[in-house]
Each structure stands twice: as structure tokens, then as C-alpha cells.
């Protein structure tokens, strides 16, 4: 039946997270053995498509947890424009992310990094037997994360979980591990209780023109959530930091628009004002937050609440399953199969 694989995989991701955090001590030991001395200047997270969005979120988390410099690049930028982004005199840890471990431009980016820079290389993939895992200096495979669907759902959040664990191993370990250990059960409980909010949204409004707003640690997740609606439901979507909505994008906001906001701690006051501005323009509004604000009563048509007490750099993992679910259900409502979106394949190549 269309969508069965995707919906199952969305619901299964919390079990994958649990299996990963149960083995966090093993990952920490591997990191200690390989990166005991700080022999790098920057950490570069690299991926293509959904994996680039995960890399963007991972870099933000890494900076926050370790206090060290990290950034993300699409694999193609490393392949063709590395001189614009990287410096010969610096030493890097490159973290290559790919569900299949066979993404052509990611494998090419690995080759470019090795040939042109002083690089230690790490692979994060859902296939431990992949070429990427074999060719990197170190691999952190995501176990029990095989997906039948073309669309990435549980693999996205689970690879992101591994990057959070990697950052914890090199940074504020004990506080970070405590929060990561709570994510699987928090995510499962919230999804089971509140996915009806997404069902109600789809019954009452369209998602054909959706803008997903997320800043700081939410930006990569916001981009990924916009992509889920685009590739599964063929909606017209965009994603950006919340304040950017106040510039050009709000010109197109009207009653046919859905504005979905991932609320942070750092920008909460400004984000509440943006939510109200979107509502005044006639748009439908969805807010994802760790707690209810009184302002939601007149600014949010729909609210998903999860992650109270969870730092903002981890809450994107709790919000993503709802947007994945929204994308899959919107696709099914249009007679589309989210398991097999048109024009794309599991491993993308030219």
C-alpha cells in the first residue's frame, strides 16, 4: 500500500535513537582513542541532499557543545569549490554523511579532501558495508536503520543523533549524554500523543505553499522538513531563519500559506512577533515549541509541544518527525506515494 514504508519508518526512528544512545559509551571510547590529542583546527560536516541538511544541524550542535569551529558544506561544494571554502594551512576533521554510503559526489568529496588537505575522515552512514565507511579513517555506522522508502526519514534523525554523540564525546560530555538519553522516549511519547495535530491541520488547510522557519540549530532541520513536503507531497516550500521571513518572503504570504515555526530559546521574543505578523497576513500558522506561550492563543492555529527542559540544539530532532508525517500524509491525500516520489532515487547521480 502506498506510504506504508514511509509511515512505518517515521514511527520506528525512536527505536533507532534508543539503540544508538545505548551504545554511546562505545562511540566515546572510539573518539577518545582516535582524537585524544587535538590535532585539528576545524570540523567540516559534509553531505548531499538530506544529508547536507543533517550536516548543517550537526555543525551548529558541534559548535555549541565543544566551543570549537565547525561548519557544513554540500558535497558538491567540496568537489568543485573547495578552494573557496577551505585553506591548505589548516587541518580538518571531515565528517562525511550519507544514508547509503554510496552517494557519488560525497565519495568524490572524500577523494578531494584527502588529496588536497591535511584531513582526518569520519563516515556516518546507515550501511556499515558501504564504500564510504570502508574508505574513511573512522566510521560510525547507524545500526538497524535500513529504509525501504526512497524518502529519508528515520535515517536523517538517526545520523543526526550520531553527530550529537560525536560532539558530546569531544565536548561537554556528561550534560549532553543525559539529554540525548532522554530523546527517544520523549520523541516517541510526543509523536504518539500529538500527531493528531498534523492530521487536524491537513483536514483544515492546504500545505501547497509552506514556509518553514528555524534559526540557529533549527536551520538544517527546517530545510529538511521543507524538503519532505516538497519531495513527498510536491508542495512549493522554502525554509529560512525566522527573521528572514520579514524581508521578501512575507510579500507572498496570504490565506493560502502555511507558516511553520520551530521556536527557539535564543530568539523566542522575536519569533513570537513573527508568528503574529504571519497571522495578520492571513496565513495559517503552526508552531513547534517546548512549552505553550499565552501568545499562541491568538498567533498559532496549530501547536505541537515537546521537549520541555531539552536544550534547543537537540529539539529539532523532536520536531522533525511531525513534519515528516505531515509530508507523508499530505502526499497520500493527493493520491501520491511518499515511498516513491517521482524523479528521484535512493542514490542520486547525474
**Tens-place pLDDT, residues 231-242:** 999 999 999 999
What's 260's DSSP letter?
Answer: E
Q: Which of 245, 255, 196, 205 shows the shortest CA–CA distance to 222?
A: 245
End residue of a domain, out of 143, 171, 199: 171
| Amino acid 36: pLDDT | 66
pLDDT confidence of 32, banded at 50, 70, 90?
Answer: confident
Asked whether residue 133 falls in the same domain as residue 74, the answer is: yes
Asked whether residue 123 falls in the same domain as residue 201, the answer is: no
End residue of a domain, out of 145, 171, 197: 171
Asked whether residue 30 falls in the same domain as residue 98, the answer is: yes
On the question of pLDDT at 248 being above 90, the answer is: no
Question: Per mean pLDDT, which range of 34-43, 48-57, 152-161, 301-310 is the poorest?
Answer: 34-43
- Is 338 within the bounds of a domain? no
Asked whether residue 215 falls in the same domain as residue 162, the answer is: no
Taking CB atoms within 8 Å and a gap of at least 24, the contacts of 67-70 are 67/171, 68/42, 68/43, 68/170, 68/171, 69/41, 69/42, 69/43, 70/42, 70/43, 70/44, 70/45
Higher pLDDT: 38 or 195? It is: 195
On the question of pLDDT at 301 being above 90, the answer is: yes
Average pLDDT, integer, range 56-67: 96
Asked whether residue 192 falls in the same domain as residue 323, the answer is: yes
- Is 347 within the bounds of a domain? no
Asked whether residue 155 falls in the same domain as residue 12, the answer is: yes
Asked whether residue 49 falls in the same domain as residue 189, the answer is: no
On the question of pLDDT at 171 being above 90, the answer is: no
- Is 223 within the bounds of a domain? yes
pLDDT confidence of 175, banded at 50, 70, 90?
Answer: confident
Residue range of the domain that includes 11: 4-171
Q: What are the CA-CA distances from residue 33 to residues 20, 26, 97, 314 (Å)?
A: 19, 11, 21, 26
Asked whether residue 325 falls in the same domain as residue 185, the answer is: yes
Find how far residue 166's CA is from the centre of its chain: 16
Asked whether residue 158 falls in the same domain as residue 216, the answer is: no
Question: Cβ atoms within 10 A of the Cβ of 171, count?
Answer: 17
pLDDT confidence of 322, banded at 50, 70, 90?
Answer: very high
- Is 225 within the bounds of a domain? yes
- Is 201 within the bounds of a domain? yes
Higher pLDDT: 256 or 173? It is: 256
Q: What percent of the chain has pLDDT over 90?
A: 89
Count how many domains the chain has. 2
On the question of pLDDT at 28 being above 80, the answer is: yes
Mean pLDDT of the chain: 95
Total residues found in the chain within this entry: 350
Q: What percent of the chain has pLDDT over 70?
A: 99
Write the CATH number for 153.
3.40.50.10490
The 10s digit of each residue's pLDDT in 181-236 is 999 999 999 999 999 999 999 999 989 999 999 999 999 999 999 999 999 999 99
pLDDT confidence of 37, banded at 50, 70, 90?
Answer: low
- Is 348 within the bounds of a domain? no
Asked whether residue 328 falls in the same domain as residue 203, the answer is: yes
- Is 349 within the bounds of a domain? no
Find how far residue 242's CA is from the centre of its chain: 17
Asked whether residue 268 falls in the same domain as residue 202, the answer is: yes
| Amino acid 350: pLDDT | 64
| Amino acid 228: pLDDT | 97
- Is 344 within the bounds of a domain? no
pLDDT confidence of 90, banded at 50, 70, 90?
Answer: very high
Contacts of 249 (CB under 8 A, 6+ apart): 211, 238, 240
End residue of a domain, out of 152, 171, 190: 171
Asked whether residue 131 falls in the same domain as residue 228, the answer is: no
pLDDT confidence of 174, banded at 50, 70, 90?
Answer: confident
Q: Is the dihedral of CA 309, 313, 317, 320 positive or negative?
A: positive
Amino acid at each position: 500500500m502506498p506510504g506504508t514504508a514511509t509511515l512505518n519508518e517515521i514511527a520506528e526512528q525512536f527505536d533507532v535513537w534508543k539503540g544508538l544512545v545505548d551504545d554511546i559509551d562505545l562511540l566515546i571510547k572510539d573518539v577518545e582513542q582516535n582524537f585524544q590529542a587535538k590535532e585539528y583546527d576545524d570540523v567540516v560536516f559534509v553531505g548531499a541532499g538530506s544529508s547536507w541538511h543533517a550536516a548543517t544541524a550537526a555543525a551548529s550542535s558541534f559548535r555549541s557543545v565543544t566551543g570549537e569551529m565547525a561548519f557544513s558544506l554540500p558535497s558538491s561544494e567540496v568537489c568543485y569549490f573547495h578552494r573557496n571554502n577551505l585553506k591548505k594551512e589548516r587541518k580538518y576533521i571531515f565528517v562525511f554523511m550519507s544514508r547509503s554510503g554510496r552517494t557519488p559526489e560525497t565519495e568524490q568529496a572524500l577523494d578531494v579532501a584527502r588529496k588536497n588537505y591535511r584531513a582526518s575522515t569520519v563516515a556516518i552512514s546507515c550501511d556499515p558495508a558501504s564504500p564510504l565507511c570502508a574508505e574513511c579513517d573512522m566510521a560510525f555506522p547507524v545500526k538497524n536503520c535500513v529504509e525501504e522508502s526512497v524518502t529519508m526519514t528515520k535515517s536523517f534523525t538517526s545520523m543526526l543523533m550520531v553527530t550529537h554523540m560525536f560532539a558530546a564525546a569531544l565536548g561537554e560530555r556528561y550534560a549532553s549524554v543525559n539529554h540525548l538519553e532522554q530523546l527517544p522516549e520523549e520523541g516517541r511519547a510526543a509523536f504518539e500523543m500529538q500527531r493528531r495535530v498534523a492530521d487536524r491541520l491537513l483536514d483544515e488547510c492546504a500545505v501547497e505553499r509552506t514556509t518553514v522557519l528555524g534559526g540557529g540549530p533549527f536551520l538544517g532541520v527546517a530545510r529538511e522538513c521543507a524538503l519532505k513536503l516538497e519531495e513527498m507531497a510536491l508542495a512549493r516550500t522554502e525554509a529560512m531563519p525566522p527573521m528572514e521571513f520579514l524581508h521578501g518572503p512575507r510579500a507572498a504570504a496570504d490565506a493560502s500559506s502555511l507558516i511553520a515555526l520551530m521556536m527557539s530559546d535564543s530568539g523566542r521574543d522575536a519569533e513570537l512577533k513573527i508568528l503574529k505578523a504571519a497571522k495578520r497576513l492571513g496565513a495559517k500558522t503552526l508552531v513547534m515549541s517546548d512549552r505553550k506561550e499565552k501568545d499562541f492563543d491568538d498567533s498559532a492555529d496549530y501547536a505541537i509541544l515537546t521537549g520541555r527542559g531539552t536544550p534547543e540544539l537537540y529539539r529539532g530532532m523532536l520536531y522533525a518527525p511531525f513534519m515528516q508525517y505531515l509530508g507523508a500524509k499530505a502526499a497520500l491525500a493527493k493520491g501520491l506515494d511518499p515511498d516513491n516520489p517521482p524523479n528521484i532515487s535512493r542514490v542520486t547521480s547525474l
